[in-house]
Every structure is written in C-alpha cells, then in structure tokens.
A and B are shown apart, each in its own frame.
Chain A
Amino acid sequence: MGKVKLKYFSRVREIIGKPSELIEVKSKNLQDLIEELQSMGEQYSVLKGEHFVVYSAVDQNMVTDFKASIEGATEIAFFPPMTGG
C-alpha cells in the first residue's frame, strides 16, 4: 500500500515508545494493520484495545469501523479516550 505515517498519542505513545513513525504498510484495513504492527513488537498489542479503548483517525477522520479500508491513507493516528476541557 505504500508508506504511511503512524502517529501515537498519550498512553498509546508511551507504551509504543515513540510519537510517530513512517512504515511500509501492507494491510488494507486497521484490524489487519494492528496485526501487522504486532509482528514488529509486543508493545503494539496496546492497539488491540484490551486494556483501554483505542481510537483511530485515518487522514484526520475519526474511524469507528476497524474493517474499513485504509487504502490510499497517508496518516493513521491511534489514541486513548480524549480528556479535554
């Protein structure tokens, strides 16, 4: 699919250990991408959302369906529940 900038925020950033990275993505949806990332290291299992909910934004659009296509995306962000205000 090409190179995609992955961004991580808050607790997700801390667990993965970096704020962003540029990687060659083969997966066609978020669910597969998370599996793909896990093969790079156990820290990426946080993205499965088993310990806290993990949200995603593809090209700065919030995504609820992790099976939706990510083909053509240039930026994918992962983050925990938001706590603004």
Chain B
Amino acid sequence: MNCKIIVGVQKTDFDLNLEMEALKLKTKKAGAVVFFVGKVRDLEDDKLKYLEIESFEELAKRKIKDICDDAATTWDLEYILVKHRFGRLELNDNIVLVITSSKHRKNAYEASRYIMECLKSNVPFWKKEVANNTQNWVENS
C-alpha cells in the first residue's frame, strides 16, 4: 500500500486549488482525481443562521485515519486527503473535503463515496443547525 494519506480536523477553510497543486507534487501516477466537498446548506424554510459543528478532535483524527487506511486497503489509490472543519460555519461555507486519487477513475470514485459514508456516522462530529428561534442537533438521515 503506497497510498499517501493526509488528515485534517480544523477550524480553517481549505483551498481547492492549493490542494490540487499539492496533490500533483505528491503523486505522478494518478490519472484520476475525485474531489468531494460538503458545504453548509439552508433549511427548508430558508431560516438557517449558522451551523455549529462540535468535534472530539483527537478521536476524530484517529477515526478518519482508520477510514482512510481501510479505503487504501480496499481500493488501489495513490492519494487520500480528508479535511473536516468544526466550529461556527455560515451558509455555503465548506464543511468537508475528500480527495481520492488513483490511476483510473473507478477506484477514486468508489473510495470517495465510501469515505464520505463513513464520515457521516463513524467520526465524532455533531452538527447543530441554529435558526432565528430554534436550535436543533442534526440527526442522521
């Protein structure tokens, strides 16, 4: 397994262009790169003020690394990057970035989806939607 794995749990935003350039420097054998970005969306009634994401940082990093290791064992990948944000995020802010890269597209697509599904329910983050008069912890759908 020669897959490069990068994990970040952070308050700050990420820059897609910079991440793409960094990837190019770190792997030259990959012909496919899949970017997945999760972002803050509005509520049905358009009343979202902001999203608060709480994290158990140390455990979250470990769990994400475990998920990436699983993905790298299952699919032939050259590069995986996962950066997940926490703290107060505004409408349309980025929440999570998953980059998977492989020689051909199939592995990168499948691994990206697998990692995202795992992030939804296996990593200690909790989202709270704050509206004008309500605050609700998001439940898994």
Which A residues have a C-beta under 8 Å from some C-beta of B? 7, 9-11, 13, 57, 60, 62, 77, 79-85
Asked if B138 is at the interface of the complex by the 8 Å CB criterion, the answer is yes
Q: Note all chain B residues with C-beta closer than 8 A to A83.
A: 120-121, 125-127, 137-140
Q: Note all chain A residues with C-beta closer than 8 A to B126.
A: 9-11, 79-80, 82-84
B137 touches A85 (CB 8 A): no
Instruction: Give B104-141 interface residues, CB cut-off 8 Å to A.
Output: 116, 119-128, 137-140
Nearest CB in chain B: distance from A84 CB, A: 3
Q: Note all chain B residues with C-beta closer than 8 A to A7.
A: 56
Interface of B is mostly: mixed
B120 touches A85 (CB 8 A): yes
**Given the known A-B contacts A83-B140, A84-B119, are A60 and B96 also in contact in the complex, defined by CB atoms under 8 Å?**
no
Cβ contacts A to B, 26 pairs, < 8 Å = A9-B54, A9-B56, A10-B137, A11-B126, A13-B54, A60-B62, A77-B56, A77-B59, A79-B56, A79-B124, A79-B126, A80-B126, A80-B137, A81-B121, A81-B139, A82-B122, A82-B126, A83-B121, A83-B125, A83-B139, A84-B60, A84-B96, A84-B120, A84-B123, A84-B124, A85-B119
Identify B125's interface contact among A11, A60, A62, A82, CB under 8 A.
A82
Across the interface, name the chain A residue whose C-beta is closest to B64.
A84
A81 CA / B116 CA spacing, docked (Å): 16
Q: Note all chain A residues with C-beta closer than 8 A to B53.
A: 84
Q: Which of B53, B119, B124, B128 has the most CB of A within 10 A?
A: B124
Per-residue CB contact flags for chain B residues 3-39 toward chain A (1 = under 8 Å, else 0) read 0000000000000000000000000000000000010
Q: Note all chain A residues with C-beta closer than 8 A to B125.
A: 82-85
Q: Note all chain B residues with C-beta closer than 8 A to A79.
A: 56, 124, 126
B139 touches A57 (CB 8 A): no
Q: Note all chain A residues with C-beta closer than 8 A to B122.
A: 82
**Given the known A-B contacts A77-B56, A77-B59, are A85 and B124 also in contact in the complex, defined by CB atoms under 8 Å?**
no
Asked if B95 is at the interface of the complex by the 8 Å CB criterion, the answer is yes
